[in-house]
Amino acid sequence: MAEPPNVCLTLSNQPENVMLVRETLSGMADTVGVDGADLNDIRTAVTEACNNVVLHAYEGEEGPLHLEVYLRDETIEVVVRDHGTGIKPRIRTEEEEALGIGLSIIQALAPRVEFKDVSGGGTEVRMEFAAPASTMLDELLQDGFEPPQVASGELATTTGVAVAPSSLARRVLPRVMCVLAARAHFSTDRISDAELVADALVAQAPASSTGEHLTVTVHVEPRNLELRVGPLSSGSSQRLIASSSLGGVGPVIERLTDDRQVAVDGSSETLALRLLDRR
Amino acid sequence: MTVTDMALATATRGPAVVSGGTEEFQLFVRHEQGDLAAREALVRRFMPLARSLARRYDRSSEPFEDLLQVAALGLLKALDRFDSGLGHPFASFAVPTILGEMRRHFRDAGWSVHVPRGSQERALKVRDAQERLANRCGRAPTVNELAEYLELSTEEIIDALQAIQAYESLSLDAPRPGATDEVTSYGDAMGAEDERYELVELDATVSAVLGRIPQRERQILRMRFVEDLTQTEIATRVGISQMQVSRLLRRSLDQLRALTNDDKPKR
Whole-angstrom Cα Rg for chain B:
29
pLDDT at residue A95, rounded to an integer: 54
CA distances from A19 to A163, A198, B28, B254 (A): 18, 19, 39, 27
Asked if B111 and A185 come within 8 Å (Cβ–Cβ), the reply is no
Q: Domain locations in chain A? A: 7-135, 152-276
Q: How far B66 CA sits from the closest chain A CA (Å)? A: 16
State the Cα–Cα distance between residues B106 and B77, nearest whole angstrom: 17
**Contact between A4 and A142 (Cβ < 8 Å):** yes
Task: Kindly report the CATH class assigned to B3-111.
Answer: mainly alpha
Q: Is A31 on the interface with B (CB under 8 A)?
A: no
Q: pLDDT tens-digit profile of A116-154?
A: 999 888 999 999 999 987 666 766 777 778 899 999 899
What's the CATH superfamily of A152-276?
A: Histidine kinase-like ATPase, C-terminal domain (3.30.565.10)
Across all residues in chain A, what is the average pLDDT?
Answer: 89
**Which pLDDT does position B168 carry in this prediction?**
58
Q: Find out whether A183 and A194 touch, Cβ atoms under 8 Å.
A: no
**Strands A214-221, A224-233: pairing kind:** antiparallel
Calculate mean pLDDT across residues A236-250: 85
Give pLDDT, residue A78. Answer: 98
pLDDT tens, position by position, B185-203: 444 444 444 444 443 444 5
If one compares B56 and A144, the residue with the highest pLDDT of the two is B56
Residue-level pLDDT at B13: 36
Tell which CATH architecture fits domain B186-263.
Orthogonal Bundle (1.10)
CA angle B163, B169, B175 (to 5 degrees): 105
Q: Does B141 touch chain A (CB under 8 A)?
A: yes
Task: List chain A residues with CB under 8 Å of B155.
Answer: 19, 22
Is the CB of B242 less than 8 angstroms away from the CB of A192?
yes
Single-letter amino acid, residue A22 = R
B201 has a chain A CB within 8 A of its CB: no
Q: Do B143 and A203 touch (CB under 8 A)?
A: no
The pLDDT tens digits of the residues spanning B119-170 come to: 788 889 999 999 999 999 989 999 999 999 999 999 999 999 998 887 654 4
DSSP state of B169: S
Chain A contact for B146, CB < 8 A? yes
Q: Is there a shared CATH topology between the B3-111 domain and the B115-166 domain? A: no
Q: Cα(B18)–Cα(B105) distance, rounded to whole angstroms?
A: 32
Return the CATH fold of A7-135.
Answer: Heat Shock Protein 90 (3.30.565)
In the sheet with A268-276, reading across from the earlier edge strand, the strands are A112-117, A123-130, A75-82, A64-71, A7-12, A158-163, A214-221, A224-233, A268-276, A259-265
Mean pLDDT of A50-72: 92
Burial class (CB in 10 A: 0-12, 13-18, 19+), B242: buried
Can you count the helices (H) and strands (E) in chain B?
Answer: 13, 0
pLDDT tier at B65 (50, 70, 90 boundaries)? confident
B154 lies within 8 A of chain A by CB: yes
Question: How near does any CA of chain B get to the CA of A268, in Å?
Answer: 26
Which among B18, B95, B256 is the top mutation candidate for probing chain A, defined by the most A β-carbons within 10 Å of its own β-carbon?
B95
**What is the ipTM, given to two decimal places?**
0.92
Q: Render pLDDT for B204-256 as a digit per residue (tens, 0 to 9).
A: 556 677 778 888 898 999 999 989 999 999 999 999 989 999 999 999 999 88
**Nearest residue of chain A to residue B198 (CA atoms):** A248
Residue A11, pLDDT score: 96
Rounded to an integer, the average pLDDT of A198-213 is 83
Q: Does B212 touch chain A (CB under 8 A)?
A: no
DSSP annotation of A187 reads B
The overall average pLDDT reported for chain B is: 77
CA B241 – CA A100 distance, rounded (Å): 46
Domain extent listing, chain B:
3-111, 115-166, 186-263
Does the CB of A179 have a partner CB in chain B at under 8 Å?
A: yes
pLDDT value at position B61?
Answer: 63
CB contact under 8 A, B249 and A249: no
- pLDDT attached to residue B48: 93
Class of domain B115-166: mainly alpha
Distance CA B58, CA B147 (A): 19
B105 in contact with A, Cβ within 8 Å: no
A35 has a chain B CB within 8 A of its CB? yes
Cβ contacts of B158 on chain A, cutoff 8 Å:
19, 23, 178-179, 182
